[in-house]
Structure 1
Amino acid sequence: MALEHLFQGSALNAVDAKGRVSVPAFLRQVIERRGDARTIVLAKHEQFQALSAYDPAYAAQKHLKLERLLEKEETSPDAELAYQRRTLMAFGASEEVPYDSSGRIVLPPMMRRKGQIEELALFIGAGETFQVWNPKLFLADANIPEDLKDIARYRLEERGL
């Protein structure tokens, strides 16, 4: 099951003291095209010091991907344990967050801590998902290509930072 609508683009938005932030309209449009839920699922990204974000439809697809991975690797003695760990991380360590009519969410404190999100949130489209970064961490990450870092620098310059 391929997702027809993909997340792309970038934006930098302010996060207030209570963790409220506006999710960019171009990302919300993808969520709404994929389904009726005005909900975002947030989880700690598996490789980066960022949050992974997606819609509930992708969460169901992610579960199917993990099931297929287990079937492929089930001859390995550690396959079941690896599967259990991945499903716990994918679903136990995630939170669903609704957004209001203006696109605002409240970042849950644990997710905010896991992503080290402070006063700014950098939103980056990543195809089936999107990422939410602290822009300072994005710029400091050696695994992020310079061309992508230029996007973050541009977004910061737009805000006079």
Structure 2
Amino acid sequence: MWYYKRFDQLTSEELFIILKERVRVFVVEQNCAYQEVDDEDLTAIHLFHMEDKKLTAYCRLIPLDHQVKLGRVLVPLLYRQKGLGKELVLEAIRFWQKNYPEYPLFAQAQAYLKDFYHEFGFQAISKEYLEDDIPHIDMILTKTDKDNL
């Protein structure tokens, strides 16, 4: 089941499961020491999919003055290659279209995922750069064809 929750709506168990998986993927799996939990968690909409109290997909959407940031997009290792990543991004796009259609959707994507995000209409707006020693690229989605979602 898909959930959309602000920080203050998350249960302590949901928060624990989400943060544990984010650290597993972005810090341990990618061997990248950085401040994974940040203040943006407090203002984000946390979008996630759970099955039997197991996190199967997660991202956060951060509304800002001029755009909405899509970030921390993950599918845990056991659930990869099952189409959940695409479902997750589609859910995020639907939420953005419904709640913030006047703002662009911004993603600071890992560079190897450029084509993946391009499938949804995201366009690169930067050259590749290093963020915490991982190649990234800035991408933006300004409109979508709602019939294709």
TM-score in same-fold range (> 0.5):
no
Structure number with larger C-alpha Rg: 1
Greater fraction of residues in strand: 2
Task: Report 1 or 2 for greater relative contact order, CA contacts < 8 Å, sequence distance ≥ 6.
Answer: 1
**TM-score (normalised: structure 1):** 0.27
Greater fraction of residues in helix: 1
